[in-house]
Structure 1
Amino acid sequence: MTVWGGQPPSALCAWVVLLLLVVSGEPSRSPYDQEQDQNRDRDRDSETTDPRTDPRKDPRTNTRVYHRDVSEVRGKDCRRCCDPGEQPPPHYSNPHYPQQYPQYQAVPQINITILKGEKGDSGQRGPYGKSGKSGQSGPRGPNGLRGTKGSIGTPGEPCKAQYAAFSVGRKKAIHSNDYYQTLVFDTELVNLYGHFNMFTGKFYCYVPGVYYFSLNVHTWNQKETYVHVMHNEREVVILYAQPSDRSIMQSQSLMLELEREDQVWVRLFKGERENAIFSDDFDTYITFNGHLIKPKSEG
């Protein structure tokens, strides 16, 4: 069968394609390619690109310049986009045309545990770092459990008992004068630990506690006897006897609570009136006694 000038139909299609290429100056484009080109042109036109300086456009026609060889299309059969069973355009598999979508390539996985080597030797220990600042004290913790009862300890030293006692006497008589006189004793009967001073005539307390004291004198005929038992500088009790035709023995006793370094002694009243205590050089008529009843340390 021949058409137009005795040419077969296939030859006629080839001449039509060649004529279209010469007129348009572009290779045949599918509707999909044309739509993609229009989208790219709009994007580039929005950037206000000068066609004179854009290498992607022809400055004479303001059209995109394609570097696709026309000969690639001339060897292909002429197809219509509306033909049934239309396959994707040939440029999808053409290596000279850019791909529209990224393609991914599988990367082989390597088991790292297979390549792991043996454990190396331990390194040398590094130097100690500087001490940090002290932190804040935490809250007090709860009380711990009660511990077990301890064992019995070794016996201690025996408790030292505390004592104090004295008993002194005088063999010489004494008369009053214009000032007070301390009664000094010349006979030491008992003086435990030397707490009574025979030179001053006073008892000095070295063990605080409760003490008992007693004083005994012999009066003089027709003379008055007037003495005091003194606690430090305070008059505590008096021993007194009125003038009489005969002499008698007089006594006084008391208890005192003493502190350390307190003093107890006997004082003869001064001579506003005749005042005396009888004695001789052979017998002891005057005695002064005292002893500790209970130390203060015992409560």
Structure 2
Amino acid sequence: MESYYGMAVLVGVALLLTTGQCDVSCKGTDGRAGEAGAPGRDGFPGVKGEKGAPAVMDNGPVDVGVLLRLRGEGGSRGPQGVMGPKGYRGHLGPAGDPGEPGRPGPAGKSIGQGGQLSPQQGRSAFSVIRTDNSYPRYGQIITFQKTVVNTPDDFNAATGHFTCRVAGVYYFTFHSVAKVSVCLAIKSDVLTDKLGFCDYNRNNDQVMSGGVVLQLTVGQKVWLESFKEQQKDAEAQDSNEKRIIFSGFLLF
């Protein structure tokens, strides 16, 4: 009886399980995604790692790029190179500050009692003669072949220049003799224009003179030149005898 009763219970349970199963069309509703949680707190710093071992020299190929990034110790100063070409001149810069006054110069030399030149120092005179028969070329300084007086060598006959050595007032004069028309001029650093004189041919010897008083400073020059005005072209080829005398001396 008890066996029959147990069998009936098992059969009932089996039927209950069979009628409780869903077929293929039986489906439940999907659930929604959960929300993101709040961010967590930062963690604690980690423990410092141990110091690494020293690098070992590699016997393999060297990476040049790495070597260039590594800065070694400074080497010794090399020799100076060859100077390069001169650069272009730059713009003029602003004026600098005034410099300090220089040291006093050496004492000057005495030139005689009471500031006057001694008789020997105050001498200056010359007189020279041109003996060349050729016509003096236009616009060129006349040179001279014979020296009559030249004290103390203030006149250079080879260049035709008188150079002032003693500042003062001088008198200069010339005389010329020729059978053709001639124009001569006394020229100097102190004259802005030429001081010219001309004498034109009248089929005989032409005598011409000229003179001037000039106040000169040390280093200024005086000379004689030929210039063209109304002379004929053929006269410049004349080779007859000619004489030109040029003289000068210090007045005071």
TM-score normalised by the chain length of structure 2: 0.47
Q: In terms of Rg, which structure is larger?
A: 1
TM-score w.r.t. length of structure 1? 0.40
Higher RCO structure (Cα 8 Å, ≥6 apart): 2
